[in-house]
Structure 1
Amino acid sequence: MTTWISTRKKTILAIIVALALTGIVFIAYSIIQSKENPDVTAAFIEEHMTNDNGTLATYLKPASSEHPDIVAGREALSESLGLWMQYAVLSDDRSRFDDSVQLLTTYFLYQEQEPYIRWKLRPDGESEVTTNALGDDLRILDALLKAFKRWGDEEYLQLAKEIGSTLQASAQTLGYFVDYHDFERNESAAVLSLVYADISALREMQNNGILSRQEYEQYQDLLSQMPSDGVFYPKIYQIGSGQYEYDASVNLIDQLIVGIHLAEMDQRPKELIQFLKGEFQQNQQLAGGYNRKTRKPDATYESPAVYGLAIILALKTNDLPWARQLHDRMIQFRGQDPDYPGGYVFDGNTHAFDNLFPLLAETLLESTGK
């Protein structure tokens, strides 16, 4: 009897130990997955950055907008929608893409006269703005046209053509697309921010008959002829004078996106990459902004969006080792808040693009690194 009880105790103890070890292995696996799997960031966005109507909130924390032209709190941007659509195409998720197209046509697309995309919505889906944002429009067009190429749905192509037709009819100055057009006042900007010269989207538009080859090539020329100060690129192109203008304080997100545009044309932004690699090697980090003259950081923060875009630039220039180094740094900022696993959350708040750009970068890295 005593032997039987002893054996039973040993069996129970063995079971407890086995369960404990299983739990430890599961927790370790979960931690590894949360560090290496981009799906955890997508899950965070869907759970915590999505409004009741399905639109993506710009910030995690609610806040009231003090002016229609300033985004705040849970307001939704066409920028976020475009990035989410690009992620859906890249991850081959047609269901997610179709849900995004539904959000586009239901909330963002103003269709009473010329169909244009309103750049910002209130959390309830209503809008107080009558302007578009060119960079966001082109990102959405890029996603629609690549989705058409992947899945062959003519509705994607037709929607892209409608939006592109409005851009050509109303959002141009002297033959160039401009940063925005106010459809209520019928007023357009006089400049093109070079970050908006989305060569990937413009190429897709040309391939699908939305732009002529001549129109596409003028944007290629605009970027090819763009000056550099030895590291950084200008901020805007003044269409009337044909002059490029620099910012004194350089936003690294802008610089990286312009660098990606160049890489899309097989023009490696050598000086910018050399500078970024030097900064990363010396400091083991990239700052969010730099003084253009001194080349010193003038921002104390690190941005997950910066690392996401730097990864994309590294992959576009076939530098997989550097992309992996940047990725190792980027994911150190993910999941720091235990209440928001998978998210890049700091002090209880985050911006949508600080999660969407890393999500795109990781998905691209995952597909490239295989």
Structure 2
Amino acid sequence: MKKILILLMILPTIVLAGCSKKSDVKVSEPDMSTSNFLNSSNYGDYSTQNKLLYKFVTNKMLTKEGIYTNYKETKNQSNVATGHEMLSESSGLWLEYLVYTKQYKKFREFYKQTKNTFDQGDQFSYRYDPNTKKKSNVNATLDDLRIIRSLQMYAQATKSSKYKKEAATRFAKLKSGSIPNGKLVDFYDTKAKKSSSTGSLAYYDFKTLKYFESTSSKEKKYYKKQLKVVQNGYLGDAFPLYSSSYDWGQGSYSSKDLNTSEALETVLHLSEVGKVKKVTLNWLERQVKQRKLYNTYTINGSVVDKDQSTGSYALAAMIFANAKNEKMYKYTMKIMWSSQVTDDSSPIYGALGVKHLKQAYSFNNLYGLIASKY
């Protein structure tokens, strides 16, 4: 079997479109049931592997400011976070995991730290460099939604009215720049005071959007439109995934190659609201069984990059769990765990990583932790 490699998520470069962001926001707390925010299948017991992975993350990746993007320190790059830079993506995933594992005090402490590191008032910067103490001027809408989801998960689990209000307030603030009039886009630039014109379909966190957009008939229409935008990005039964992004200005979908982890995040979000297609699940099952869940495809389904990502297998496992396919969940988790470093002399012992390169990315390791709790 080809060694499973890691994949680093890249924030796409997008043309900015004018958008004035307002500081005054109206906060409406949803009344609808939130019971599905904490659902889990309990299909597998991965306590042994999970214990090693958790220890690696807390001892080697977690800091007072956030979580390293990669265990291995590398030279910084302008277009992508590397090495010991930090992403709000990682913080959101870690916050979710802390709720799943009922570590409520640590959740409160880490959320406070997350705000100290990434908060820009109405949104969270997507990227922070601990060496220069600088954070990016832009957010990544999915990362904000993930943090907001974790706040609501905590509020539900602990019956906290304080955190329920915090979640609703953060969503209300996020909307003006990143979801103006229901049009979800990739980011808002706090310096240029403009929003991007396109939205990655992976960024449509439908479970979170559905909940927070349930407060009025207008908001509910926004949600239906968002769902339609993603569903209309379907590439067809021959290659049953979705386009990478939608341009609100042009009214068109991207024809760029698909980053598989991002493509599977799109499918995961659909699966969380019961909108995943059977043909998509069948395709995913075939790829997993053949150990051919490759990193990059063209929109026609041709393979571009035959390397594979541990994070993709974690996402696939979560999708199977949502589809109540226990057999495929366990099968996929077995593949995911095969990338765990079990040599206790290695500096990345316990990580989902590449031993000889001493590389372990936060995306893979954090999604691995969350998948193990599904």
Given that 1:56 and 1:80 are in contact with CA atoms closer than 8 Å, whether structure 2 keeps it comes out as yes
Match of 2:309 among 294, 303, 311: 303
Give the corresponding residue for 1:105: 115
User: Which residue identity lines up with residue 159 of structure 1 in the other structure?
Assistant: E
Higher RCO by CA contacts (8 Å cutoff, separation 6 or greater): 2
User: Whole-Å Cα distance in 2 between the matches of residues 175 and 286 of structure 1?
Assistant: 33
- Matched residues, number: 324
Can you give the 5+ residue segments of structure 2 that lack an aligned partner in the other structure? 1-44
User: Whole-Å Cα distance in 1 between the matches of residues 186 and 92 of structure 2?
Assistant: 16
* Rg larger in structure: 1
Give the corresponding residue for 2:243: 234
Can you give the 5+ residue segments of structure 1 that lack an aligned partner in the other structure? 1-32, 365-370
Given that 1:38 and 1:363 are in contact with CA atoms closer than 8 Å, whether structure 2 keeps it comes out as no
**1:286 Cα deviation from its structure 2 partner:** 2.2
Give the corresponding residue for 2:24: none
Match of 2:293 among 279, 286, 295: 286
Match of 1:133 among 133, 140, 145: 140
Q: Deviations over 1:25-56 (max 9, x none)?
A: xxxxxxxx9884423212110101123x2410
Whether 1:76 and 2:83 are equivalent positions in the alignment is: no
SS of 1:212 mapped into structure 2: helix
Give the corresponding residue for 1:19: none
Q: Deviations over 1:77-113 (max 9, x none)?
A: 00000111111122222122112211122211123xx
Whether 1:145 and 2:152 are equivalent positions in the alignment is: yes
* Aligned pairs for 1:44-193 within 5 A: 44-51=56-63, 53-67=64-78, 69-111=79-121, 115-123=122-130, 126-173=133-180, 175-193=182-200
User: Whole-Å Cα distance in 2 between the matches of residues 76 and 315 of structure 1?
Assistant: 29
Q: Which protein is richer in helix relative to its size? A: 1
User: Whole-Å Cα distance in 1 between the matches of residues 275 and 182 of structure 2?
Assistant: 24
**1:174 Cα deviation from its structure 2 partner:** 5.6
Question: Structure 2 length normalisation: TM-score?
Answer: 0.80
User: Which stretch shows the higher mean deviation, 296-305 or 132-141?
Assistant: 296-305
Instruction: Call closer, same or farther: CA 1:245–1:76 in 2, change over 3 Å.
Output: same
User: Which stretch shows the higher mean deviation, 218-227 or 196-205?
Assistant: 218-227
Instruction: Call closer, same or farther: CA 1:208–1:159 in 2, change over 3 Å.
Output: farther
Given that 2:241 and 2:267 are in contact with CA atoms closer than 8 Å, whether structure 1 keeps it comes out as no
SS of 1:288 mapped into structure 2: strand
SS of 1:335 mapped into structure 2: coil
User: Which residue identity lines up with residue 265 of structure 1 in the other structure?
Assistant: V
Q: CA RMSD in A?
A: 2.3
Instruction: Call closer, same or farther: CA 1:43–1:177 in 2, change over 3 Å.
Output: same
User: Which residue identity lines up with residue 276 of structure 2 in the other structure?
Assistant: R
User: Whole-Å Cα distance in 2 between the matches of residues 41 and 125 of structure 1?
Assistant: 29
Question: What is the identity percentage for the equivalent residue pairs of Structure 1 and Structure 2?
Answer: 20
User: Whole-Å Cα distance in 1 between the matches of residues 219 and 152 of structure 2?
Assistant: 16
Give the corresponding residue for 1:266: 274
User: Which stretch shows the higher mean deviation, 300-309 or 338-347?
Assistant: 338-347
Whether 1:326 and 2:337 are equivalent positions in the alignment is: no
User: Whole-Å Cα distance in 2 between the matches of residues 73 and 337 of structure 1?
Assistant: 22
**1:296 Cα deviation from its structure 2 partner:** 4.3
User: Whole-Å Cα distance in 1 between the matches of residues 220 and 248 of structure 2?
Assistant: 20
User: Which residue identity lines up with residue 335 of structure 1 in the other structure?
Assistant: V
**1:284 Cα deviation from its structure 2 partner:** 3.3
Instruction: Call closer, same or farther: CA 1:235–1:151 in 2, change over 3 Å.
Output: same
**1:116 Cα deviation from its structure 2 partner:** 1.9
Whether 1:355 and 2:362 are equivalent positions in the alignment is: no
SS of 2:320 mapped into structure 1: helix
SS of 2:305 mapped into structure 1: coil
Given that 1:119 and 1:136 are in contact with CA atoms closer than 8 Å, whether structure 2 keeps it comes out as yes
User: Whole-Å Cα distance in 2 between the matches of residues 259 and 170 of structure 1?
Assistant: 25
User: Whole-Å Cα distance in 2 between the matches of residues 207 and 92 of structure 1?
Assistant: 27
SS of 2:246 mapped into structure 1: strand
